Chain A
Amino acid sequence: MDLQLLKKQLLQDLKNVSSAQDLQDLKVKYLGKKGEITLLSKNLGKLTQKERPKAGKSINELRVLFEIKSGSLLSKIEKNEIEESLEKDSIDISLPVNNLQNGSLHPITRTIDKICEFFSSRGYLIEDGPEIESEYYNFDALNIPKDHPARDMHDTFYVDVETLLRTHTSPVQIRAINKRSVPLKVICPGKVYRSDADQTHTPMFHQVEGLLIDEKVNFGNLKQELTDFLNFFFKKNLEVRFRPSYFPFTEPSAEVDIMDKKGWLEIMGCGMVHPNVLKEAGVDPNKYSGFAFGLGIERMAKLDYEMDDMRLLFENDVRLISQS
């Protein structure tokens, strides 16, 4: 056949291809054992020495043409086929999934962690202590002897004559010194109990106690540390105020207030560890000094989460606490 005619026919055939199978059939038609291009190559021998190179070259060009054209056609066809199959896999991705309840930590846990994160980064160890405590650790060792009016500030739950539910996390001060020796930096989050219930009080609540004992610790250190902490916690530069107060286990004692929208707001108690407490824990008050502080977690959470009723925190309505 005439080469020009064959080329024309070949291009026409390629145009009519619509599937991978069509393409395979064409390949057989042109390049198979009895294919038209194959046959032409076989007949090259019949040509003269002079005609042969030119004809060979033309045949080869035709073969290359076919391969290029069919190659690109194939990838086009395959792409179309994948696309069609994708369509068949189509689903409604907007359908809901099974039981998607997002797990989360309780707001109190988050608040405690935010506080511990700060003090941890400053090298404080995080300690723990018993919740059922002896009168000794909860009161006596903290310079609050029996019948001391300061005991009136704590509405104490008793489980027997000398055993109670700790009314504050301060007993951990003595326990930590006994356990670890000074110098020392500890922080202790935990549950505490007082017989009190209204919008701002629950009979169980949480405190974080901090204690730092070293040589040459002064009141300025306490002010700096707690100011830094409050700025960290509330993520802004707060106006912070220290004012005199009274805790039997610190001297001098202070309350810390921050400036809130409505005015000064009491946020935590603190002070320099009372020499009697150091002595009781076997620490020489002439060599060492320290500061201690305690803060109510619910109050911090209340401010942080802008909620009013603390009791809600323990009703465990998943709709509420899962927001944290």
Chain B
Amino acid sequence: MKILKSHLEEKIGKKKNISKLAEQLTMLGLEVDSVESLKKDYCIDIDLTPNRGDCFSVLGVAREIAANDCIKLKKEKSLKVNLSGKPITNVTIKDYDACPRYCYSEISNLSSKDKNNNVKKLPEFINHRLEIAGINSINPIVDILNYVMLDIGQPMHAFDKNKIDGDIQVRFAKSNEKIILLDKQKINTSQDCLLITDKKKPIALAGVMGSYDSSVDLETNAIILESAFFSPKSIRGKGRRYGIQTDASQRYERGVDFELQRKALLFAISLIHEHIGGVSSDIKEISSSKSLPSRKLINLSISTLNNKLGTSLSITEVKKILTFLEISSSSGPGDPLVKLKPPSHRFDLEIEADIIEEVARLVGYDKLPLEKVKTSFQEFSKTAYQNTLDLKKFIASQNFQEVINYSFIDDRLQEKLGLTKGMIKVQNPINEKLNSMRTSLLPGLLNNLISNSKRGASFLKIFEEGKVFSKNKKISELNRFAGIIYDQEKKKGWRESGSYNFFSQKEFILKLLNFSNLQKIILKPSSSKLLHPKVSADIFKAGKKIGSFGEIHPIVLKKVNLKKSFFYFELDSLELFNEKKVELIEPSKYPQVQRDLAFTVPEHLIFKDIESAIIKNSGNNLINLKLFDLFKGGDLPKNHKSLAFRITWQSKKETLDDLYIESIVKEIEKNLKDNFKVELRG
């Protein structure tokens, strides 16, 4: 809300230094966003919080300053207005809870134009103040009503009396009632919309905007002037629903002083008479006092107040502060509780804590003492956060760069990748490229790969930790770790290690699993449709799949127009958090025995099966089995490969003798030959 310093000073009745004023407002909770220096004046832009509807006028802001300065506001001069006769139009309120008070007057013989057919001009100070507030000039009548609202906070509305049909009702909409608003927007009301209607049709969405058809224009010569109190509840949400936030609706939904209607009406009539002319009827008020907001008594304990603020204020000091805020107090002598009643303009004071805040505000937050926290002991427990961070640090130590992507992503990309199972759509996405919750971390990482390689990266190791979302009856959120390894560097000469391949990735994954204290892991060819079926693996922990890794499927590359392949992994975070119980075992003192055995193995047999068979037949003194050579061709039979193992035995109790070892080797040999047709070489 933008107001002029001079306007504010006029209300307070004294001059203020601008920078001190801005500081004072901010420290009262009326945050000054900016101060603009004008010719002999300043425009102050205040960022109002939604609880302070009472400050939505120059009067409201002035009230705060006065309370803070411990002065009374300048008395308004009493208005002398000529009113005569009862209004012709009758107003009926159908729902007093929604509209506890409706004041109105009829003004006739109006003319917004002078003899020369020029539009009558309002005084410069009114035009200037409205302009500063960002309120557009419409016509003299509406401008005056807006000025009253800016000045004291009461939204008002004028209907062109000649455009409405008979008596007025304030009621909730019947089903499917339509109204064309001032901004020419046609809306279908629903039954929770409060309307002002004439005999035939709605003429205003109460407290939000009038209808186009009943609006006042330069030709209007008779009006019905409305100054009503609508309950915040009846107005809230309507503006948002129809995408209209008006100066009126913003004030009504936060709460307008319910004792202000008659005064505002008088003020508006006097300005109209003075600057436009016309003859006004008496003010008629329809109201139900029991429907007006009640200001319940709040019990304040001074000791609670001092405990919560760390202060030692006396009851007299507190009462003084509250009096300037127009909060009336009563308490008997020696009574530990003060009974308080907030004024009609405050809608945010309901409980003791609200009053405590008022006192804190007026004392000044900066004057409240600091105090070290003395709290109860709380047992430490490691949570997922620390585990996640440990893993992130480990992965980063393996030269991965962490990235963070948005959790929502283009649904078309997820569709392309076949990742739409259980996909959750955002109903009101910020744009269509961010319209669905990710079901995998792959799409985001893919985008990162594409953008970074476009910038010229030929080598990239990136990872992300975050949630993936899906819905299958219930919404589920799973934490994942995923990463991409992209290696398109050309290497020759001194760098012998070669390009990143499946086994580089397998080594990393096994290191990661080991870091996570995961034991007894089983790797199986991956069933993931995202990965190359021959160069990938699924990771199983106790029969449960916890992730996959390997080369990306060429189909994925094709779908996202990537020419060069990369490696990908994705793991369930929670499965990676394991506590490890460690028992240190003393190594044996007896000598180790080693044998190197090479076998001719048919090509289709996999290493793991041969290895398992050897382990099974190596007795219980086996301590190590290592593959140290693998080759094809040479003097081997066709479709065969040679696997060479180094096997190590050691006993905890004795020195193993050669005969024992020979018998085991024979057993291994026989077993491989019988079960796999695998021969021992030379």
A binds B: yes
B396–A165 touching, CB < 8 Å: no
- CB-nearest residue of chain A to B404: A106
Q: Does A38 contact B (CB under 8 A)?
A: no
B383–A321 touching, CB < 8 Å: no
B356 neighbours in A (Cβ, 8 Å): 251-252
- CB-nearest residue of chain A to B399: A103
A101–B461 touching, CB < 8 Å: yes
Partner of A195, one of B428, B452, B459, B469: B428
Q: Does A47 contact B (CB under 8 A)?
A: no
Distance in angstroms between the alpha carbons of A159 and B475 in the assembled complex: 10
Known: A103-B461, A242-B365. A272 touches B353 (CB 8 A): yes
Q: Does B307 contact A (CB under 8 A)?
A: yes
Question: Which residues in chain B, 384-407, are within 8 Å of chain A measured between CB atoms?
Answer: 384-386, 389, 392-393, 395-407
Q: Does B115 contact A (CB under 8 A)?
A: no
Question: Which residues in chain B, 356-399, are within 8 Å of chain A measured between CB atoms?
Answer: 356-357, 360-361, 365-366, 368-373, 375-378, 380-381, 383-386, 389, 392-393, 395-399
Question: Which residues in chain A, 103-155, are within 8 Å of chain B measured between CB atoms?
Answer: 103-106, 108-109, 113, 116, 122-123, 125-128, 130-132, 146-150, 152-153
A153 neighbours in B (Cβ, 8 Å): 50
Question: Which residues in chain B, 236-284, are within 8 Å of chain A measured between CB atoms?
Answer: 236-237, 240, 250, 253-254
Distance in angstroms between the alpha carbons of A252 and B437 in the assembled complex: 37
Known: A103-B395, A216-B307, A244-B27. A313 touches B404 (CB 8 A): yes
Question: Which residues in chain A, 223-264, are within 8 Å of chain B measured between CB atoms?
Answer: 223-225, 227, 241-246, 248, 251-255
Question: Which residues in chain B, 429-450, are within 8 Å of chain A measured between CB atoms?
Answer: 429-430, 434, 437, 448
Which among B50, B399, B437 has the highest number of chain A CB atoms within 10 Å?
B50
Q: Does A82 contact B (CB under 8 A)?
A: no
- CB-nearest residue of chain B to A226: B370
A224–B353 touching, CB < 8 Å: no
- CB-nearest residue of chain A to B308: A218
Q: How far is the CB of A259 from chain B (nearest CB, A)?
A: 12
B233 neighbours in A (Cβ, 8 Å): 147
Which among A183, A216, A252, A314 has the highest number of chain B CB atoms within 10 Å?
A252
A316–B405 touching, CB < 8 Å: yes
B467 neighbours in A (Cβ, 8 Å): 131, 191
B378 neighbours in A (Cβ, 8 Å): 123, 125, 183-185
Q: Does B37 contact A (CB under 8 A)?
A: no
- CB-nearest residue of chain B to A180: B378
Q: Does A80 contact B (CB under 8 A)?
A: no
Residues of chain B at interface, number, CB under 8 A = 93
Q: Does B426 contact A (CB under 8 A)?
A: yes
B381–A125 touching, CB < 8 Å: yes
A243–B31 touching, CB < 8 Å: yes
Question: Which residues in chain A, 267-316, are within 8 Å of chain B measured between CB atoms?
Answer: 272, 274-276, 289, 313-316
B408–A204 touching, CB < 8 Å: yes
B497 neighbours in A (Cβ, 8 Å): 98
Known: A131-B477, A220-B369, A251-B353. A160 touches B404 (CB 8 A): no
B50–A152 touching, CB < 8 Å: yes
Q: Does B167 contact A (CB under 8 A)?
A: no
Known: A224-B371, A321-B403. A165 touches B426 (CB 8 A): yes
- CB-nearest residue of chain B to A98: B495
B426–A246 touching, CB < 8 Å: no
Q: How far is the CB of B491 from chain A (nearest CB, A)?
A: 7
B459–A314 touching, CB < 8 Å: no
Distance in angstroms between the alpha carbons of A168 and B26 in the assembled complex: 24
- CB-nearest residue of chain A to B395: A103
A253–B357 touching, CB < 8 Å: yes
Q: Does A317 contact B (CB under 8 A)?
A: yes
Distance in angstroms between the alpha carbons of A47 and B181 in the assembled complex: 143
Q: How far is the CB of B482 from chain A (nearest CB, A)?
A: 13
Question: Which residues in chain B, 451-471, are within 8 Å of chain A measured between CB atoms?
Answer: 451-452, 455, 457, 459-462, 466-467, 469
A131 neighbours in B (Cβ, 8 Å): 407, 467, 469, 477
Known: A102-B399, A127-B383, A316-B462. A219 touches B50 (CB 8 A): no
- CB-nearest residue of chain A to B496: A98
Partner of B51, one of A160, A225, A242, A246: A246
Q: Does B424 contact A (CB under 8 A)?
A: yes
Q: Does A64 contact B (CB under 8 A)?
A: no
Known: A189-B385, A218-B310. A245 touches B426 (CB 8 A): no
B396–A317 touching, CB < 8 Å: no
Partner of A220, one of B370, B377, B406: B370
B366–A132 touching, CB < 8 Å: no
B297 neighbours in A (Cβ, 8 Å): none
Q: Does B509 contact A (CB under 8 A)?
A: no
B487–A99 touching, CB < 8 Å: yes
B50–A150 touching, CB < 8 Å: yes
Partner of B351, one of A220, A224, A275: A275
Q: Does A197 contact B (CB under 8 A)?
A: yes
Q: Does B343 contact A (CB under 8 A)?
A: no
A322–B361 touching, CB < 8 Å: no
Q: Per-residue 0/1 for B202-240: is the Cβ within 8 Å of any A Cβ (1 yes, 0 no)?
A: 000000000000000000000000000000010011001
B368 neighbours in A (Cβ, 8 Å): 219-220, 223, 242
B455–A148 touching, CB < 8 Å: no
Partner of A160, one of B237, B375, B427: B427
Known: A132-B424, A132-B475. A103 touches B400 (CB 8 A): yes
A86 neighbours in B (Cβ, 8 Å): none
Known: A147-B236, A220-B368. A159 touches B424 (CB 8 A): yes
Question: Which residues in chain B, 22-71, are within 8 Å of chain A measured between CB atoms?
Answer: 26-29, 31, 49-52
Q: Per-residue 0/1 for A29-59: is the Cβ within 8 Å of any B Cβ (1 yes, 0 no)?
A: 0000000000000000000000000000000
A149 neighbours in B (Cβ, 8 Å): 50, 236, 250, 253-254
A255 neighbours in B (Cβ, 8 Å): 31
A127 neighbours in B (Cβ, 8 Å): 383, 385
A313 neighbours in B (Cβ, 8 Å): 404
Which among B52, B383, B491 has the highest number of chain A CB atoms within 10 Å?
B383
Partner of A103, one of B307, B397, B427, B455: B397
B401–A104 touching, CB < 8 Å: yes
B383–A128 touching, CB < 8 Å: yes
B373–A132 touching, CB < 8 Å: no
A75 neighbours in B (Cβ, 8 Å): none
Known: A109-B392, A245-B31. A125 touches B353 (CB 8 A): no
A125–B357 touching, CB < 8 Å: no
Q: Does A214 contact B (CB under 8 A)?
A: yes
Q: How far is the CB of A178 from chain B (nearest CB, A)?
A: 16
B352 neighbours in A (Cβ, 8 Å): 275
B407–A204 touching, CB < 8 Å: yes
Q: Does B177 contact A (CB under 8 A)?
A: no
Q: Does A217 contact B (CB under 8 A)?
A: yes
Distance in angstroms between the alpha carbons of A170 and B529 in the assembled complex: 39
Distance in angstroms between the alpha carbons of A97 and B493 in the assembled complex: 11
Distance in angstroms between the alpha carbons of A128 and B530 in the assembled complex: 30
Known: A99-B489, A165-B426. A319 touches B455 (CB 8 A): yes
Known: A203-B434, A245-B29. A108 touches B477 (CB 8 A): no
Q: Per-residue 0/1 for B402-428: is the Cβ within 8 Å of any A Cβ (1 yes, 0 no)?
A: 111111100000000000000011111
A157–B429 touching, CB < 8 Å: yes
Distance in angstroms between the alpha carbons of A214 and B356 in the assembled complex: 19
Distance in angstroms between the alpha carbons of A214 and B373 in the assembled complex: 10
- CB-nearest residue of chain B to A216: B307
Distance in angstroms between the alpha carbons of A185 and B378 in the assembled complex: 8
- CB-nearest residue of chain A to B403: A316
Distance in angstroms between the alpha carbons of A253 and B354 in the assembled complex: 10
Can you report 14 A-B residue pairs in the complex whose CB atoms are below 8 A from each other?
Answer: A103-B397, A126-B386, A130-B477, A131-B469, A159-B426, A185-B378, A203-B406, A217-B375, A220-B369, A224-B372, A246-B29, A314-B405, A316-B405, A319-B455
Beyond the given pairs A147-B253, A148-B50, A316-B403, 20 more chain A to chain B contacts, judged by CB atoms under 8 angstroms and listed by A's residue number, are: A99-B487, A102-B401, A103-B395, A103-B399, A105-B392, A130-B477, A131-B467, A149-B50, A159-B425, A163-B475, A185-B375, A214-B375, A221-B372, A242-B365, A245-B29, A246-B49, A315-B451, A316-B404, A316-B451, A318-B403
